[in-house]
């Protein structure tokens, strides 16, 4: 875990003072709404449907138990007793009063947290693998590099007012759990044949109105040049990205307009000036950041702990939870545990004050006092001894965080949608709830295997619906809330954007539509195939035919599918 020194603390404290002054001037009428908007957004404050919403950064998803307790305290003091974890490893307060925000930020700063650049047209919170540093399939720990990027991007003076928001994600494992291909910049940290660390740089991925997969523009970048290269990419974007139309302002549009080759060449040209300049990383700085992410004091264990194996034998429920929610650790005898924030009947990603406090206790007791937040809106205890998994499971059950559904249909990713978000076309939480209610039979869910379901309340795609195996998008149809379905999306190294299957559905139809999609899958599934594999094998038509049965408008037409 990165620990602030007096410099980091000073920067965050000065931000609190600056924002306090901005809020004061806004309330005094010295800043207009239009002037204050970009300023408050760069500090994570939205004006939402019912109240402001404050988005707090959790850099690359890492938290200490002390920070979690502070989040809980703020939720009790300034909000309605709960928080919402987002798909970008941030945490949101849905009901703070605008005039209290400076005080909340001051309290966050006291535990080395902030809301800097969690929104607005600037470089956002850098995201990464929730299992960074512990994953069995990790090649290079991405966290020191994330921290280096965090510092570089924090109040970067040249890139404070970009054409549009800018998101960076870093992955260092075989499986890409950070969805780097759908970020403005996606970085893979890797090793070359000589065992040296370097980066692959992808640009121009993104969801939203024009979903795209990133293009590889730099197959190998030496570590010391990371920041000068990023400076070059951002400078090209800052200067040439479109500012006349916000729907065409993301870097992906620029990359596409120039072609990835021409964009890469332009970056190289710019980089030639910056390369080896003062922003070039020193060995000492690289080492300094690595020192914060060393392994905790693991015990030397054999693995396959007998009491753990016996508990699996004895309790089918525990065994099911282990199957779904326990992830293989690189250190023998340890495991990473995902606490599910997807209990049926609870908005996905929400946690109450009591749950947060309890989870902080669990982190202290079982996992060196640290936690992670995942892109899938769950919480992770990354370093739990196998011998303690059963005890942890019992505790997690008590607080409602032990639903054994990670990766399954009800572990759906869902944005706050029309219940909270003023940009929404439709509500997303009631749809999530309807699906969770329909599929609440655990054995059945388990049998269905891995299915990513993603729900967004509008085309901004905060629920990443394009990369869900089943994506659900809220649309507005004659002022009524409707939902469009996409199938075949996926994240990871072979990320793909799902395709729309046809006309949209009313909210009350959604549970039935899901049942029909699942029915087609079950009828066509071979052995233990995953949903996405069945889909790839049989294509979209059987699904279309089923869901649009008796609805002439939507019948699948073979020739339409390219």
Partner 1 sequence: MSRIIVDKAIVECDAPILRVGEDGSFPAVPASGLVFVSLPQYLAQKAELTARGDVGVWFAPADEPEVLGDEAAGLAYIAVEFPAFTDGRGFSIGRLLRERYGFTGQLRAFGDVFKDTLNYLARCGFNAFVVRADKDIEDAVKGIDDFTEFYQSAVGQPQPLFRRR
Residues that bind partner 1 (CB under 8 A): 5, 7, 10-11, 14-15, 17-18, 22, 30-31, 35, 38-39, 121, 151-152, 154-162, 227, 235, 238-239, 243, 273, 277-279, 281-282, 284-285, 288
From residue 337, alpha-carbon distances to 69, 166, 378, 387, 388 in Å are: 20, 30, 10, 13, 11
Give the three-class secondary structure for 327.
strand
Given partner 1, ligand SF4, none, residue 154, with its beta carbon under 5 to 8 Å by kind, binds partner 1
Judged by CB under 6 A, does residue 353 bind ligand SF4? no
Give the three-class secondary structure for 219.
strand
Cβ atoms of residues 351 and 385 within 8 Å:
no
> Residue 407 Cβ, how far from partner 1 at the closest point, in Å?
37
Both tokens assigned to 457: 């309340």
Given ligand SF4, partner 1, none, residue 139, with its beta carbon under 5 to 8 Å by kind, binds none
CA pair distance 111, 128, nearest whole angstrom: 21
CA pair distance 231, 226, nearest whole angstrom: 9
> Residue 274 Cβ, how far from partner 1 at the closest point, in Å?
9
CA pair distance 279, 294, nearest whole angstrom: 25
Binding mask 261-280 for ligand SF4 (x = CB under 6 A): --------------------
CA pair distance 22, 400, nearest whole angstrom: 40
- Exactly one of 363, 381, 424, 517 binds ligand SF4 (CB under 6 A); that residue is 424
> Residue 533 Cβ, how far from ligand SF4 at the closest point, in Å?
28
Given ligand SF4, partner 1, none, residue 424, with its beta carbon under 5 to 8 Å by kind, binds ligand SF4
Residue-wise DSSP of 401-427:
---S-TTSTTS-EE--GGGT-TT-SS-
Number of alpha carbons in the 13 Å side-chain half-sphere of residue 160:
11
> Residue 209 Cβ, how far from partner 1 at the closest point, in Å?
20
CA pair distance 350, 103, nearest whole angstrom: 23
CA pair distance 559, 484, nearest whole angstrom: 21
> Residue 457 Cβ, how far from ligand SF4 at the closest point, in Å?
3
> Residue 53 Cβ, how far from ligand SF4 at the closest point, in Å?
9
Taking the least distance from each CB to ligand SF4, the nearer of 226 and 462 is 462
Cβ atoms of residues 12 and 112 within 8 Å:
yes
Given partner 1, ligand SF4, none, residue 462, with its beta carbon under 5 to 8 Å by kind, binds ligand SF4
Taking the least distance from each CB to partner 1, the nearer of 18 and 210 is 18
Judged by CB under 6 A, does residue 462 bind ligand SF4? yes
Tell me the site size for ligand SF4, rule CB under 6 A: 13
Cβ atoms of residues 107 and 300 within 8 Å:
no
Given ligand SF4, partner 1, none, residue 421, with its beta carbon under 5 to 8 Å by kind, binds ligand SF4
Taking the least distance from each CB to partner 1, the nearer of 91 and 116 is 116
Given partner 1, ligand SF4, none, residue 393, with its beta carbon under 5 to 8 Å by kind, binds none
Sign, Cα dihedral of 311, 314, 315, 320: positive
Taking the least distance from each CB to ligand SF4, the nearer of 84 and 490 is 84
Cβ atoms of residues 551 and 509 within 8 Å:
no
Q: HEC states along 20-50?
A: HHHHHHHHCCCCCHHHHHHHHHCCCEEECCC
Given partner 1, ligand SF4, none, residue 288, with its beta carbon under 5 to 8 Å by kind, binds partner 1
Given ligand SF4, partner 1, none, residue 193, with its beta carbon under 5 to 8 Å by kind, binds none
Residues that bind ligand SF4 (CB under 6 A): 415-417, 421, 423-424, 456-458, 460-463
């Amino acid at each position: 875990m990165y620990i602030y020194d007096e410099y980091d603390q000073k920067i965050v404290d000065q931000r609190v003072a600056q924002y306090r002054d901005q809020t004061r001037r806004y309330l005094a009428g010295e800043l207009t709404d239009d002037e204050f908007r970009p300023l408050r957004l760069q500090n994570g404050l939205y004006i939402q449907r019912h109240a402001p919403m404050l988005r707090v950064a959790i850099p690359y998803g890492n938290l200490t138990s002390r920070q979690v307790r502070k989040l809980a305290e703020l939720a009790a003091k300034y909000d309605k007793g709960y928080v919402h974890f987002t798909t970008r490893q941030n945490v949101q307060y849905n009901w703070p009063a605008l005039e209290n925000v400076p005080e909340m930020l001051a309290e966050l700063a006291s535990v080395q947290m902030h809301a800097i650049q969690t929104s607005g047209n600037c470089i956002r919170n850098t995201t990464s693998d929730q299992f960074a540093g512990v994953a069995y399939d990790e090649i290079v720990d991405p966290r020191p590099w994330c921290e280096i990027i965090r510092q570089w991007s924090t109040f970067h003076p040249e890139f404070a007012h970009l054409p549009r928001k800018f998101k960076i994600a870093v992955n260092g494992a075989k499986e890409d759990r950070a969805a780097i291909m759908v970020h403005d910049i996606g970085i893979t940290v890797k090793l070359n044949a000589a065992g040296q660390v370097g980066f692959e740089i992808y640009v121009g991925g993104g969801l939203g109105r024009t979903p795209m997969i990133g293009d590889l523009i730099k197959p190998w970048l030496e570590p010391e040049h990371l920041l000068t290269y990023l400076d070059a990419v951002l400078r090209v974007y800052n200067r040439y990205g479109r500012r006349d139309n916000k729907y065409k302002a993301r870097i992906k549009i620029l990359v596409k307009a120039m072609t990835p080759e021409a964009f890469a060449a332009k970056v190289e040209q710019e980089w030639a000036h910056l390369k080896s300049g003062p922003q070039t990383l020193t060995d000492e700085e690289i080492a300094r950041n690595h020192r914060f992410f060393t392994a905790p004091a693991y015990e030397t264990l054999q693995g396959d702990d007998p009491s753990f194996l016996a508990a699996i034998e004895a309790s089918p429920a525990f065994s099911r939870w282990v199957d779904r929610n326990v992830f293989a650790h690189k250190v023998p005898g340890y495991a990473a545990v995902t606490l599910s924030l997807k209990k049926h009947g609870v908005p996905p990603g929400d946690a109450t004050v009591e749950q947060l406090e309890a989870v902080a206790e669990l982190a202290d007791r079982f996992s060196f006092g640290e936690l992670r937040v995942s892109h899938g809106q769950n919480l992770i205890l990354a370093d739990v001894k196998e011998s303690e998994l059963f005890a942890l499971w019992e505790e997690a059950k008590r607080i409602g965080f032990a639903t054994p559904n990670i990766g399954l249909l009800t572990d759906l990713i869902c944005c706050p949608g029309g219940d909270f978000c003023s940009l929404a076309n439709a509500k997303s939480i009631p749809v999530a709830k309807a699906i969770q209610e329909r599929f609440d039979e655990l054995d059945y869910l388990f049998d269905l295997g891995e299915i990513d379901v993603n729900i967004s309340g509008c085309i901004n795609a905060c629920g990443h619906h394009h990369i869900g195996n089943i994506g659900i998008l809220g649309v507005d149809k004659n002022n009524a809330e409707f939902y469009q379905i996409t199938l075949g999306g996926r994240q990871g190294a072979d990320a793909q954007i799902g395709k729309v299957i046809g006309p949209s559905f009313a909210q009350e139809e959604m549970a039935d539509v899901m049942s029909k999609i699942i029915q087609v899958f079950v009828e066509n599934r071979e052995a233990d195939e995953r949903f996405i594999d069945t889909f790839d094998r049989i294509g979209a038509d059987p699904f279309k035919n089923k869901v649009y049965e008796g609805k002439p408008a939507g019948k699948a037409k073979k020739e339409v599918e390219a």
